[in-house]
């Protein structure tokens, strides 16, 4: 057993890596991660099968999701266009000098975006409008947040506005760039004729890991997949598991959840429908509810309303019904919302944002215009959801 102070540091470092798997040299937890590196590597490998690399200037926990089909994962504000730009930017930075300016990055992105393969997919990128420049700046700020870029001088706002002198200069941190992709296998290792074709196949192929073909190897793979869901997803629902996973989890979920909770400091919520590791302080969640802001308030109101419907046996709702519900609540709650959300017709966008947040928390599933409540939504039931 670790001494109390060492155990506290281990938990602090472990929680920090769960929230910041790509940790730069300026992160407050890096000294603790370096001191606890051996124990952390052993724990993550044993419990979740996640490799951990710790160096002097940073650490990388290669968190690979158990469910690559989960569409709620991603970067806030990123659509397909920005994801393409992020990938192209990384390709440019891989071949760039130790420093690069925002203008240089934009010019090289233009050349990359003109590739015939992208043109065939009708992808277009230019820097002629503030919207396009804003997309590039969003990519740069994401890379700054990940520690791949470090701003040396300037800022991005003048560039977005189109000012001739608007520019920024960055250092390129190649070690962080090299660790950005958490794939088990690099995409470039497939011959073009053998590469997976559909998005689902490509995502699955990126994270597939070799497993020992033995009874113990299969049990380890099952344990890792389940632990990844418990550590990285809001809720683990039994209905989302395949037959082998359900059989294993039926016998092991109490022990497994208790072991993970002890190391991470999380609570355990066991229900007939599944299991969740809960954090009362919301320190290990990038999406919180309740939270501040108009969208979060709207999400809480819709959650209470949907929970009441679920309790009454109505588990399916149309998105338009949720928007209508918000419109009906505008007079009572609108004084807490920002001005634009109080205008007639704004309830549609507000409801869409709120429903997306609830989907990210695994409280419901969105299938087109259909809203399908999930069991964990019941925790938001109130006597008067209006």
SS3 category, 267: strand
**What's the pLDDT score for residue 244?**
94
Sign of CA dihedral 34, 3, 223, 218: positive
Q: For residue 2, what are its two tokens?
A: 């670790």
**Contact assessment for residue 173 and residue 145, using Cβ atoms and an 8 Å cutoff:** no
Distance, in Å, from the CA atom of 298 to the CA atom of 287, rounded to the nearest integer, reads 14
Distance, in Å, from the CA atom of 323 to the CA atom of 13, rounded to the nearest integer, reads 42
**What's the pLDDT score for residue 286?**
86
Is the pLDDT at 384 greater than 70, yes or no?
A: no
- pLDDT tens figures, 100-118: 999 999 999 999 999 998 9
Other C-beta atoms lying within 10 Å of the C-beta of residue 318 = 12
- pLDDT tens figures, 5-55: 889 999 999 999 999 999 988 899 999 999 999 999 999 999 999 999 999
What percent of the chain lies above the pLDDT cut of 90?
74
Q: Report which secondary-structure segment, H or E, holds 22.
A: strand 22-23
Longest dimension (CA), the chain: 65
Q: For residue 88, what are its two tokens?
A: 């192209």
């Amino acid at each position: 057993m670790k001494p109390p102070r060492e155990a506290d540091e281990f938990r602090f470092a472990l929680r920090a890596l769960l929230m910041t798997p790509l940790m730069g040299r300026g992160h407050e937890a890096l000294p603790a991660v370096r001191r606890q590196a051996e124990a952390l590597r052993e724990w993550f490998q044993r419990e979740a099968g996640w490799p951990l690399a710790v160096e002097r200037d940073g650490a990388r926990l290669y968190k690979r999701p158990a469910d690559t089909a989960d569409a709620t994962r991603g970067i806030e504000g990123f659509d397909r266009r920005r994801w393409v730009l992020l990938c192209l930017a990384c390709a440019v930075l891989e071949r760039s000098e130790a420093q690069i300016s925002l203008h240089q990055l934009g010019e090289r992105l233009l050349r990359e975006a003109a590739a015939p393969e992208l043109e065939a997919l009708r992808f277009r990128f230019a820097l002629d409008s503030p919207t396009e420049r804003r997309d590039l700046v969003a990519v740069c700020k994401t890379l700054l947040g990940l520690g791949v870029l470090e701003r040396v001088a300037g800022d991005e706002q003048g560039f977005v506005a189109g000012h001739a002198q608007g520019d920024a200069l960055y250092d390129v941190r190649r070690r962080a760039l090299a660790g950005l992709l958490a794939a088990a296998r690099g995409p470039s290792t497939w011959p073009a004729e053998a590469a997976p074709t559909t998005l689902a196949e490509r995502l699955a192929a990126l994270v597939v890991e070799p497993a020992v073909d033995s009874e113990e190897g299969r049990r380890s793979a099952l344990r890792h997949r389940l632990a990844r869901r418990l550590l990285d997803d809001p809720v683990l629902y039994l209905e989302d598991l395949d037959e082998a996973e359900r059989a294993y989890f039926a016998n092991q979920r109490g022990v497994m959840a208790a072991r993970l909770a002890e190391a991470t400091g999380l609570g355990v919520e066991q229900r007939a429908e599944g299991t969740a590791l809960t954090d009362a302080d919301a320190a290990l969640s990038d999406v919180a509810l309740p939270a501040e802001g108009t969208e979060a308030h709207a999400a809480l109101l819709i959650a209470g309303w949907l929970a009441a419907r679920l309790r009454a046996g109505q588990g399916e709702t149309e998105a338009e019904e949720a928007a209508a519900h918000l419109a009906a609540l505008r007079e009572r709650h609108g004084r807490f919302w920002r001005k634009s959300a109080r205008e007639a017709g704004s309830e549609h966008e507000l409801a869409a944002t709120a429903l997306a947040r609830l989907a990210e928390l695994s409280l419901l599933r969105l299938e087109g215009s259909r809203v399908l409540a999930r069991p964990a939504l019941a925790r938001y039931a109130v006597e008067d959801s209006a």
